Every structure is written in C-alpha cells, then in structure tokens.
Structure 1
Amino acid sequence: MLRRGPVARSSWLVLGLSLVAVGFVGIFVPLLPTTDFMLLALPCFARSSPRLEAWLLGHPRFGPGLRAWRETGAVPRHAKVAACIGMTAGYGLFWLHVRPNMGLALAVAAGMLAAAIWIIRRPTPGISNEG
C-alpha cells in the first residue's frame, strides 16, 4: 500500500470534506448535482480516511449509487433520466438568457448531447448489459 504523508492526507481530506459539503448544498439547490460531488469525494477519502470512505459507501441515500459506480461504472435509471432532464433544462436556460450565436449554441448542444449519450450508455445497476 502506498504511504501518504500527513500533508497529502490532510489535503485529500479537506478536498473530500469540501466536496461532500457542496454535495449537501446540492440537496437544496436545484440543478446542483449532489451525487456527482459525492463521487468526487469518494477517491479523496480513499486516499485520506478509510473511515469516511466507509461512511460514504455505507450511507443509506448515496451508498448504493456510489458502490454501483465503483464496482461497474453503473448509473441508476432514475439518475440517467434526471441528468438528461437537467441538461435539457440547463440548455434551455442557457439559450434564453445568453442568446448565443448559432456556432456557440451548436457547440454547447453537441457537448451536452455527447454527455447525455455517455450517461445513457453506462450500465444500469441490476440490469445485465450482455447481449
């Protein structure tokens, strides 16, 4: 096992705690993705605090999704739907408020479409993806 110095462990711990804090804010702020920040916090805790890593993996709300992602890169169906709806709403707000030129609008749409396709193609927990 790789040994980490106290400064590195402390840095990973602070980053992990900060990501969890932002994730908890996301519970109350629309369009701020809670689970994404928990996914980012998980490797920080793996490098700094096995106890906090175990807490996050065992959390009743976030744990199942985090474990599915860690084991197989799976995304639950409801999360796929929420992500696509959120990206569509975000693009709509972008279009209305920024009023981008056609090139920028198409570039942003292409980026969001690529992200949506990637998310949709991730395995779904509990569903076999073998053909």
Structure 2
Amino acid sequence: MPPIPDPGGKERGTLWQWALQAIGGASVALAVLGLFLPVLPTVPFLLLAAACFARGSDRCYTWLVEHEQLGPLVRPYLDGKGLPLKTKIKAILMVWASIAISAIFLVDLLWVRILLPIIALGVTLYLLRLPTAETDAD
C-alpha cells in the first residue's frame, strides 16, 4: 500500500477536513457509477478521492487504497507506475468534451473561452507525460 502523503499541519475535526471527506466520498460514489456507465470515468474520480482522503482522513485513505475492487484501480498511479492507457484516453476525451461544452454553451467571456482550451492542453500534456501502466484497470 502506498504511504499516506503528509500534507503537513493536519488538524482533526476542522471544517476543511470535513469538506475534503465529503468531496472524497462524492468522488468515490461517482467512480462507482463510472464502473457501470461507460461515459463516466472511474479512475480520475478515485484519484481525486485519494487526494482528498490523504488530506482529510487517514482512515478513509487507507480504506480506499486497500479496498478489494477500488484499490487496484488507484494503486499503480499512487505507486508511480502511471495510468492505464484506456484511463488516459477517457480522461483526455472527458476534459476536451467538458471544455468544449463550457466554452461553446456556458461561457460568454472571450478571455475565458481562450483560457479553457489552454487549461485543457495543460491537462492533456500532463496526462500524456505520465507513465502508462501495463494493465488496463478501468
């Protein structure tokens, strides 16, 4: 199991920790839905949950990473082995689809419409630079 990252200065019971646990829990719920809905990505939501839990709850982080079905989906990334190719492709497609929808239908400001594809390009480059895990977990 990957060690729990130490974000430093962790205070128990703060509002911030409760918010992180809530976001992590919602991310796990969306990830589980993603197991059954092909459009919804699973691993990115689990990675978000792991990041939130690492800062908000050692118990929840340990539960997620050691979980029989969910743990194997995030452990390769947390161990530095990267993401499965299928996961990378899904994540990149979802990023560009959500950016396109936002830029075309939801945003009126020109500077934001220009900024959104730049952000998507940055996320895409980050995902492409990650190592590709050998097994396709998602």
Contact 1:75–1:124 under 8 Å retained in 2: yes
Unaligned runs of 5+ in 1: none
The answer on whether the counterparts of 1:74 and 1:125 sit within 8 Å (CA) in structure 2 is yes
* Structure-1 residue corresponding to 2:85: 77
Deviations, residues 60-80 of structure 1 (Å, cap 9, x unaligned) = 333123222221161222221
Deviates more, 1:75-84 or 1:65-74: 65-74
The alpha-carbon distance between structure 1 residues 52 and 108, as it changes in their structure 2 partners (threshold 3 A), is closer
Residues 22 and 37 of structure 1 are in contact (CA less than 8 Å); yes or no, is this contact kept in structure 2? no
Q: Is 1:44 matched with 2:55? A: yes
**Which has more radius of gyration?**
1
Contact 1:19 1:40 in 2 (8 A): no
Q: CA deviation at 1:85?
A: 0.9
Q: Where does the alignment leave 5 or more consecutive residues of structure 2 unmatched? A: 1-5
User: Percent identity at matched positions?
Assistant: 17
Q: Give the number of the structure whose residues are more often helix, by fraction.
A: 1
What whole-Å deviation, never above 9, does each CA across 1:33-78 have from its counterpart, x for those lacking one?
5224322234136xx43x4333211223331232222211612222
Residue matched to 1:53: 61
In 2, distance between residues paired with 1:68 and 1:23?
Answer: 18
Q: Distance in 2 between matches of 1:13 and 1:92?
A: 33
Letter in 2 for 1:125: A
RMSD of aligned Cα (Å): 3.4
Match of 2:12 among 9, 31, 48: 9
SS of match in other structure, 1:72: coil
- Please give the TM-score of this superposition, normalised by the length of structure 2: 0.65
Give the partner amino acid of 1:38.
A
User: 3-state SS of the aligned residue for 1:112?
Assistant: helix
Does the CA-based 8 Å contact 2:76-2:82 persist in structure 1? yes
Count matched residues: 121
Normalised to the residue count of structure 1, the TM-score between the two structures is 0.68
User: Which residue is equivalent to 2:26?
Assistant: 22
CA distance in structure 2 between the partners assigned to 1:17 and 1:121 by the alignment: 29
Query: What's 2:3 paired with?
Result: none
Mean Cα deviation higher: 105-114 or 95-104: 95-104
